[in-house]
Chains A and B, each alone.
Chain A
């Protein structure tokens, strides 16, 4: 396991941050597979009512727990803060529902390790993936809203699989609590003038993942919150 990590990222301390909400059935597998590619895995349990935190801890993750559900953005930022305090130089964020394949971590780390990028966005549309039309549509809308509010185009702005290089780890500050944090991160790249890279990844959609995905109403709510926050900031 460690050999894999040393091979891909020999000098930097790489942490993985996994925001999780009621993922007791899947979190162990995600943590175990992610451990092969990073030094430490941090699970930010976002007020789960099941045994997510206990299972993640048993699987070898460091767990930080929200007393109540705050949203994916808040959980991600808590995980990033925890990683920073433990000396993280590079942070990988990924979803807890097995949608992302941890074997993609080395290719996502590559632009940061070689010094080409401060932040790396995974791109689910960069290679042949079986993605339902409705998902493609929602992501296209998300990309458009993100572009309208930040002025930067990212091919898959709403994907939770990302790598933060040393500079981004130092400077990132997410204020949005929900899914709109993905757009806020794109804004951070503009604000701090981070170098951006995009890497195609595999995506594994199961019935469970699809059922858990955002509804149209949630998408509209997220878009409105993004617009509102962009004016309030």
Chain B
């Protein structure tokens, strides 16, 4: 058996931690079992690709990559995609905050604000979370 590269050790370890984290969220009922399974499949794919790179040969064959330059280009595209994804996530967060604020104002204006709703959100608010 060929010696493992650092990448082949680190990537499966990260995958393992990610899978454990996802299932801890499932047990805390923050994620559903379905979502946990989807994430597990995703991280397992990362680990499998790291441990068995020849899997990618098949993908490269199917997608038509021929040399390292192409692989480099694809890697950078991947990094750019991640940055776009990160920006979308931040935008989503900002939108959520704005919506939360608008909703709170509406309830407050109507004299029906969180502290009296008994909602999960209201209870968290009351407990200072």
Interface residues on B, range: 20 to 34
Query: Contacts A65-B109, A173-B119 known; A74 to B103 CB distance under 8 Å?
Result: yes
Indicate if the CB atoms of A81 and B107 lie closer than 8 Å.
yes
Q: Min CB distance, B60 to chain A, in Å?
A: 26
State in angstroms the CA–CA spacing of A149 and B31 once bound together.
11
Q: Which of B29, B103, B112 contacts A66 (CB 8 A)?
A: B103
Q: Which of B32, B92, B117 contacts A228 (CB 8 A)?
A: B92
Indicate if the CB atoms of B32 and A150 lie closer than 8 Å.
yes
Binds B, one of A82-90, A99-107, A197-205: A82-90
A77 at the interface (CB under 8 A from B): yes
B70 at the interface (CB under 8 A from A): no
Indicate if the CB atoms of B34 and A150 lie closer than 8 Å.
yes
Residues of chain B within 8 A (CB-CB) of A77 are 103
A170 at the interface (CB under 8 A from B): yes
Q: What 1/0 flags go to B107-129 for Cβ under 8 Å of A?
A: 10110111011111110000000
B57 at the interface (CB under 8 A from A): no
Indicate if the CB atoms of A84 and B106 lie closer than 8 Å.
no
Binds A, one of B2-10, B47-55, B74-82, B94-102: B94-102
Interface residues on A, range: 35 or more
Residues of chain B within 8 A (CB-CB) of A191 are 29, 32
State in angstroms the CA–CA spacing of A71 and B102 once bound together.
11
Which A169-226 residues sit within 8 Å CB-CB of chain B? 170-171, 173, 175, 177, 187, 190-191
B89 at the interface (CB under 8 A from A): yes
Query: Contacts A70-B102, A170-B118, A232-B89 known; A85 to B34 CB distance under 8 Å?
Result: no
Q: Min CB distance, B89 to chain A, in Å?
A: 6
Indicate if the CB atoms of A64 and B112 lie closer than 8 Å.
yes
Indicate if the CB atoms of A67 and B32 lie closer than 8 Å.
no
CB-based nearest A residue for B88: A228
Q: Min CB distance, B39 to chain A, in Å?
A: 8
CB-based nearest A residue for B105: A67
Indicate if the CB atoms of A62 and B88 lie closer than 8 Å.
no
Residues of chain A within 8 A (CB-CB) of B89 are 228, 232
Query: Contacts A190-B32, A233-B31 known; A85 to B106 CB distance under 8 Å?
Result: no
State in angstroms the CA–CA spacing of A177 and B105 once bound together.
16
Q: Which of A68, A149, A171, A231 contacts B102 (CB 8 A)?
A: A68
A127 at the interface (CB under 8 A from B): no
Indicate if the CB atoms of A151 and B33 lie closer than 8 Å.
yes
CB-based nearest A residue for B89: A232
Q: What 1/0 flags go to A47-80 for Cβ under 8 Å of B?
A: 1000000000000001111111011001001101
| Other contacts beyond A67-B102, A175-B96: 9, CB < 8 A | A62-B110, A70-B99, A78-B106, A81-B117, A84-B118, A151-B32, A173-B120, A177-B99, A228-B88
A residues lining the B interface (CB < 8 Å): 44, 47, 62-68, 70-71, 74, 77-78, 80-82, 84-86, 149-151, 170-171, 173, 175, 177, 187, 190-191, 228-233
Instruction: Provide a sorted-by-A list of 15 A–B residue pairs whose CB atoms are within 8 angstroms.
Output: A47-B102, A64-B109, A65-B106, A65-B109, A78-B103, A81-B117, A85-B117, A150-B32, A171-B120, A173-B121, A175-B96, A190-B32, A228-B88, A233-B30, A233-B31
